[in-house]
Amino acid sequence: MTTIDTSAQTRADEVLVPAPRPQKRSFLDSTPAKVLLPAIVLATAIGLWEISVQAGLVNPITVPAASDTFIALFEMMQTEYFWAATWLTLQETLLGFAVGSSLGLVIGALTGTFKVFRTAIWPFVVAFQNTPRVALAPVFLTWFGFGMTSKVVMAAVICFFPVVINTVAGLASVDDNARVLFRTYGASTPQTFFKLTLPTAAPISFAGIKTALTLALLGAIVGEFVGAAEGLGVLVKEFNFQLEVASGFAVVVFLAVIGLVLYGLIELLERRLITWQH
Q: What is the pLDDT of residues 74-121, one digit of tens each?
A: 988 888 889 998 999 999 999 999 999 999 888 888 887 778 888 888
pTM for the whole structure: 0.78
The secondary element (H helix, E strand) that includes residue 133 is: none
Structure-model confidence comparison of residues 251 and 1, the more confident one: 251
Q: Which domains does the chain possess?
A: 72-273 (1.10.3720.10)
Q: Most distant CA pair in the chain: distance in Å?
A: 102
Judge contact between 223 and 155, C-beta under 8 A: yes
The whole-number pLDDT of residue 23 equals 60
The whole-number pLDDT of residue 12 equals 46
Q: Binning pLDDT at 50, 70 and 90, where does residue 63 land?
A: confident
The secondary element (H helix, E strand) that includes residue 105 is: helix 80-113
Beta strands in the chain (DSSP E): none
Tell me the average pLDDT of the chain. 81
Distances (CA, A) of 165 to 39, 156, 179, 204, 210: 33, 15, 22, 10, 13
The whole-number pLDDT of residue 231 equals 85
The conformation of residue 65, written as its DSSP 8-state character, comes to -
Q: Is the pLDDT of residue 128 over 80?
A: no
The whole-number pLDDT of residue 177 equals 84
Most confident range, picked from 7-11, 46-50, 52-56, 90-94: 90-94
> pLDDT tens digits, residue range 138-147?
888 888 877 8
The secondary element (H helix, E strand) that includes residue 275 is: none
> pLDDT tens digits, residue range 201-241?
888 888 888 888 888 998 888 888 887 778 888 888 888 88
Least confident of 95-109, 188-202, 252-266: 188-202
The whole-number pLDDT of residue 108 equals 85
The whole-number pLDDT of residue 4 equals 47
Judge contact between 215 and 249, C-beta under 8 A: no
Collect all residues with Cβ–Cβ distance below 8 Å to 274 and sequence separation of at least 6: 202, 203, 206
Distances (CA, A) of 16 to 5, 7, 136: 17, 14, 70
The whole-number pLDDT of residue 97 equals 92
